[in-house]
Structure 1
Amino acid sequence: MQHGICTLSVVPARKEPSGKSEMVTQLLFGEHYTVLEIGEDWLHIKTAFDHYECWINSKQHTRIQENTFKQLEKQEGVYSNELIQVILNKTTETRFPISIGSSLPFYKNNESNFESLNFTFEGATCSSKVKKSVKDILSTAYLFLNAPYLWGGKSPFGIDCSGFTQLVYKLNGYKLPRDAYQQVELGLPLSFVEEAEAGDLAFFDNEEGSIVHVGILLNNEQIIHASGCVKIDKFDHYGIFSSETKKYSHTMRVIKRLM
């Protein structure tokens, strides 16, 4: 079985093996994966962090040995904790930006070294083993304010609703699945909006009853979420009330407490 790792700033991952297919998620620098199927120009992969299946272009694939993959699975996750920071490829002496939430494999003494690749990163980092407080989760969420909405996006340059919640929680020591309909399966449901607290996740559905949106509560009256851009709106037991349109934009389904 073949494995790979992302050595670019960000790689689009698609629903089907075509550049015209919808982008369903992104790989950030340092994220590793298993190759499920090899096509002519595309690879069907499963991401290691959230077991998400998608397709990436074979030109954006860096192969790693199975032993390296197994070691990565056992390693503490170390992530960039700055919106944007430069990393240095010591092998090629080239610098390029990586975004918040990017992984730093085998990170030690400001270096990330694996197989024949050597990188230097001197920015702020955080660990997957350190579960932080609600205050920290909100501070991280505020960093993304005004980030544009992008279906499948996972960076400050474009992010979707579940990518936003997943990334915010990831940076604070909690692992969530990729999509809103998966995230809603976690946590303890609350009976009333009045019981909601900062850090809870609120989920919203469509007319068919499918979960289509998620956001992080700031209190029991406000929510930060990605819709058009990452923004703060009012919410109640009906749903999210848009301050721009003066209408309800999303219909409340359930509030879940994960912490």
Structure 2
Amino acid sequence: MTITLPDRRNHAFDPDVHVAEEALRGQLPEGQWRYVAPRPMWAAQRLSLRSGPDVRGSQVTEALAGEPLQLLWENAEGWAHVRTLHDRYLGWARMTELVHQPPQGESLRVTALRGHAFAGPKVSQPVLAELAYGARVFRTGGEVVEEGRRRWQPVELPDGRGAWVQEVVLAPPKEADPVAFALRFLEAPYLWGGRSAWGLDCSGLTQTVYAACGHDLPRDADQQQQVLTPVETPLPGDLAFFPGHVGLMIDARRMIHANATHMSVTIETLGEGDYGARLQASCTGFGRWPG
């Protein structure tokens, strides 16, 4: 009998060394599998998750600072096979990039697309960390410092270092409209496997935009197409799918997408110009959030 193996993007098993996560017991070919239970970890910083335990491995996704992870197993060279909890996506990171427990203060969510944590309450202070929308820092018992018209919040970074961020970086987000939020990423650089405004790929953009609207999408374009409801005529905020690619519709013809053609987030009109014509010809359909 042929056994269909689970998707290795989301299910942790390695047939070369016969190790697998406990949840796959009974779902893999017979053999001397060593099953492991995941352990909680957190990203110490914005970090690349790679396709294998090698600095030359391609980036498959990112974990943002303070995001919860699961550690499946580690190797003798200090690499950890981990899973991002928000979308259950797997990759490899250095153990030194993880923390066993974040600071105990109140978790504060970064709402700016990009930001910095500083060594002191002043913009001329050294930068300690790059922050991105969705990252987490942690409130300390210190007082807010006012400097000019700026208000500086003392925080702890996920790795335990003390830092300062301006309150505007942590301002409560407005109710998100997918098109308006996506347009804020216009001209952000394209980065394979990226999912922040420091650099993101096509499905990283759509996943981030939908998350801001309260909708959890899987990581990759084909996975996103599987969970959305197919529609013939797109409305603003629907997703457009292509082989290995996805974009978000602004209206019936215009689409915003992170792409390697321009190496940035751009707007295309389907059917207009050479690139738009190629996109329209290769479109495999549109998808809408159920309900």
SS at match of 1:197: coil
| Cα deviation digits, residues 146-176 of structure 1 (max 9, x gap) | 1121110112222100001011112222211
Could you tell me which residue of structure 2 aligns to residue 201 of structure 1? 239
Higher strand fraction: Structure 1 or Structure 2?
A: 1
Amino acid at match of 1:224: I
TM-superposed deviation, 1:233: 0.4
Could you tell me which residue of structure 1 aligns to residue 223 of structure 2? 182
Q: Please, which runs of 5 or more residues in structure 2 have no aligned partner? A: 1-37, 121-125, 145-152
Q: Does 1:224 align with 2:256?
A: yes
Where in structure 2 are the equivalents of 1:63-212 lying within 5 Å?
A: 63-64=100-101, 79-87=109-117, 95-104=128-137, 117=160, 121=165, 122=167, 123-126=169-172, 132=175, 136-190=177-231, 192-193=232-233, 196-205=234-243, 212=244
Task: Measure, in 2, the Cα distance between the counterparts of 1:176 and 1:103.
Answer: 20
Q: Is the CA contact (8 Å cut-off) linking 1:78 and 1:126 kept in structure 2? A: no
Q: Is the CA contact (8 Å cut-off) linking 1:126 and 1:171 kept in structure 2? A: no
Larger Rg belongs to: 2
Q: Does 1:234 align with 2:269?
A: yes
Could you tell me which residue of structure 1 aligns to residue 26 of structure 2? none
Amino acid at match of 1:11: L
TM-score by length of 1: 0.76
Task: Measure, in 2, the Cα distance between the counterparts of 1:106 and 1:165.
Answer: 30
Could you tell me which residue of structure 1 aligns to residue 96 of structure 2? 59
SS at match of 2:86: coil
Q: Is the CA contact (8 Å cut-off) linking 2:118 and 2:163 kept in structure 1? A: yes
Q: Is the CA contact (8 Å cut-off) linking 2:118 and 2:128 kept in structure 1? A: yes
Could you tell me which residue of structure 2 aligns to residue 254 of structure 1? 285
Could you tell me which residue of structure 2 aligns to residue 208 of structure 1? none
SS at match of 1:248: helix
SS at match of 2:178: helix
Task: Measure, in 2, the Cα distance between the counterparts of 1:32 and 1:55.
Answer: 15
Q: Is the CA contact (8 Å cut-off) linking 2:50 and 2:60 kept in structure 1? A: yes
Judged with a 3 Å threshold, the aligned counterparts in structure 2 of structure 1 residues 31 and 106 are, in CA distance, closer, same or farther, namely farther
Q: Is the CA contact (8 Å cut-off) linking 1:84 and 1:99 kept in structure 2? A: yes
Amino acid at match of 2:258: A
Judged with a 3 Å threshold, the aligned counterparts in structure 2 of structure 1 residues 111 and 166 are, in CA distance, closer, same or farther, namely farther
Deviates more, 1:37-46 or 1:116-125: 116-125
Amino acid at match of 2:74: I
TM-superposed deviation, 1:244: 6.2
Deviates more, 1:56-65 or 1:145-154: 56-65
TM-superposed deviation, 1:126: 4.8
Q: Please, which runs of 5 or more residues in structure 1 have no aligned partner? A: 206-211, 236-240
Q: Is the CA contact (8 Å cut-off) linking 1:3 and 1:33 kept in structure 2? A: yes
Could you tell me which residue of structure 2 aligns to residue 48 of structure 1? 85
Report % sequence identity.
28
SS at match of 1:3: strand
What RMSD in Å do the two structures reach over aligned CA positions?
A: 3.1
TM-superposed deviation, 1:105: 5.9
| Cα deviation digits, residues 188-219 of structure 1 (max 9, x gap) | 211x23xx1100111112xxxxxx11111001
Task: Measure, in 2, the Cα distance between the counterparts of 1:246 and 1:202.
Answer: 13
Task: Measure, in 2, the Cα distance between the counterparts of 1:126 and 1:168.
Answer: 16
Amino acid at match of 2:64: L
Q: Report how many aligned residue pairs link the two structures.
A: 230
TM-superposed deviation, 1:178: 0.8
Q: Is the CA contact (8 Å cut-off) linking 1:198 and 1:219 kept in structure 2? A: yes
TM-superposed deviation, 1:95: 3.4
Could you tell me which residue of structure 1 aligns to residue 57 of structure 2? 21
